[in-house]
Structure 1
Amino acid sequence: MKDIILKAENISKQYRLGQVGTGTLSHDLNRWWHQVRGKEDPYLKIGDTNDRSTKGTSDYVWALQDINFEVERGEVLGIIGKNGAGKSTLLKILSKVTAPTTGSIKCGGRIASLLEVGTGFNPELTGKENIFLNGAILGMTKKEIASKLDEIIEFSGCERYIDTPVKRYSSGMTVRLAFAVAAFLEPEILVIDEVLAVGDAEFQKKAIGKMQDISKQGGRTVLFVSHNMAAVKSLCTRGILIENGTAIFDGSIDETISKYLQGDIVNTKLIDNNNRIGCGLILFESVKVYGDAEDLKPITGGVLVLEFSIVNQHLIHSSDIFFDIRIDDDFGQRLVWASTRLKEMRNVDDPNKIVLQFDKNPFESGIYFATIFLQIKNDVADWIDNAFTFEVEEGSYFLPGKKITRGQSRLNVDFDIQFK
């Protein structure tokens, strides 16, 4: 039999858009009148899906819609998705910070939450006083908190400032202390929402190790939200992928991350990307990524071509244009920086395409993220961070039958950039 400690059934959350987050007085009266007559809330039938990049037609939006899942005791569940997908809203509902519009949460233990930097801390109280305050909120007795006090202070690394008001702490110090309180006061369920990104590398390593100890040795459950796929992959055993307020996948963490990364493979319409910086005198319009032929995917060791169409209505001469591309792996590690500042670009007077070609593709199989940049003399023209992703299939970089491994050093990686 499964030992289920947390169960979410048909969780939905509806918000009203605009300056006021709840319904108007007339809407509230209408809801009350329907409730008195034993009828369904009339506003549950309206509202747009949670897509932050589009303009809606309704005053209501479903931040979450029909979320169902179970979590076993001792399981580490990763919840991933894009910004605005509904991850934080779900954790706030699970932590009982806010109530769901529909659905119910069944929980078999105490929940400790780290949702935002400083949540649950009184800035006027000292670090030590906040430890006791948070412990009391979590249902701990003063004696229980005192028995863990030295461990909490040591883990947080804030001993020098423990008798100083928290309002004088940096955001990183606040997170250190908050995590130490939540982890060492032994809740049955620990909920972490991206706040570890505020801490430094040393603390993140300690925190992930502590969460692994909590789940493996303590048998406690962890719900972890992060955009750091390396941390998610190393910590979690199972994942849920949320997109536009709905859970579109629930499975092993490797499969979940793969689904998440494949969501935007080769977003060819770069011109529609609103997340860009620059004066706009020239713009990236679209991109094609292919291997030995336009209808073939790139493979390790084969040809890799990234072909960009650009909008150059002012007919700016190619000699005045600088092009950069940075390629990262799914852990966010920078692998390649190709730039016309490093290698002169073969060009013509009136370019409308930029082609980057690797004759011997240095990437192993997997998903890769590309950030692209155009500059006219000293002015940034178009800069799109994580503009698109592309996939490389398995191949042989060295001798036949010998595969390249992640992190293996690659020497003499050559590329060619040209205008067309």
Structure 2
Amino acid sequence: MYGVVLATVLINAVVCDDLLAVVVIYRHGDRTPIQPYPTDPYRNASYWPVGFGQLTNVSYTLLGKMQHYLLGKWLRDRYASFLSPHYSEKDFYLRSTDADRTLMSAEANLAGLYPPHADQIWDPAIPWQPIPIHTMPELEDNLLSMKKNCPKYNLLITQLFKTPYFVNISHKNHDLYAYLTKNSGTLIASLESLEYLYNTMFIETLYNLTLPDWARVVYPSKLKPWADLSFATPCWTQDLARLKTGPLFHEIVEHFTNATKNVTGFLKFRAYSAHDITIANVLNTMGAFQVHGPPYASTIMLELRRGAGEYVNIFYKNSSIVQNITAKGCDFNCKFDDFVSLLRPIVISRDEWNLECQLEWYYYYHLDDLQYVIYASAGLSFVVFTLSIWMVWRCCKRMPKGGVTAYTQLPSDEVA
């Protein structure tokens, strides 16, 4: 797993004179549980203000819709001298995963980022304007939601969990998994399934709901460390990161490259509305993930600047605190060329991703170098042996009985 370099600072606004381009990636706001567990005393929808997995109001705790509205206003203040208050499709682009909570978070965020001004006011009684949000079905999305099926990734993650480190975790948690399975009524046999259960309990305590006695024995102390660790696994290795966040970083690098070249039609500000796992994966890919569950509305900001040359600054806002993020192998003021070089093994276009995700035959057989040599030699020997037999058979077929060559009349021979 990659290393971590973080420094905490308070930042409310930035100097935008040298800014060329910005990428913002944020998690949605407060939501209800996605799917309560079978024995959950609060599995009845009547306990919740909205349906399961939906964005909430709860503005009194600055969560949900209000949380993202305020984040939008914060982004407006931060980039006041860079991003015009007058919305233009030539400056700004926003993409969201195809989930209600991320789409609604994006809408609330835009309400704070782009309140209508002057000729964009279409109804004085409504301080809001419609702004496009781009998305695509989750199961077809290999850019942001990353839920499009990738057989190669599936194989690599399966292999990861068979390594001694993760096998040891499973052994260590055997009794905990069994306890959770018995009491929750659902199979808990992995870090991912444990995190889902932990997240449900977290939301219920956030809403001041009393957990069952069996849950209070293990929540939060015995569950949180493993739930946090689950966020590091999707991009644990470089190969996994390439297939999980490669297309997104391809788009980010292309965006910044266009800014350095001042490409016609370049949009200087791109925003992405996504999930906690997206935040974790992006940080982990850059070698800057401090193991934790990214909170609601946590935000990554990548800023391309021009000084003596182009360089990239990265920030992470996981609460009211904004942290400087230093990508592994680079300074905080990361030269753009170095930034591109560091990501080169990860970056992959969406079309390349589609090809690379397909499993070739050799991925089904886990052979070491010696085994490959042995099998290749055996295969070559078989081909040579088969070819030799065929050549002998052809020669014998042309040989007449008795071994004497027969006379064959040519077309020009005269008949006596």
The two structures have a TM-score, normalised by structure 2, of 0.22
Q: Pick the structure with more strand per residue.
A: 1
Whose radius of gyration is greater, 1 or 2?
Answer: 2
More helix by share: 2
TM-score after normalising by structure 1: 0.21
RCO (CA 8 Å, sep 6+): is it higher in 1 or 2?
2
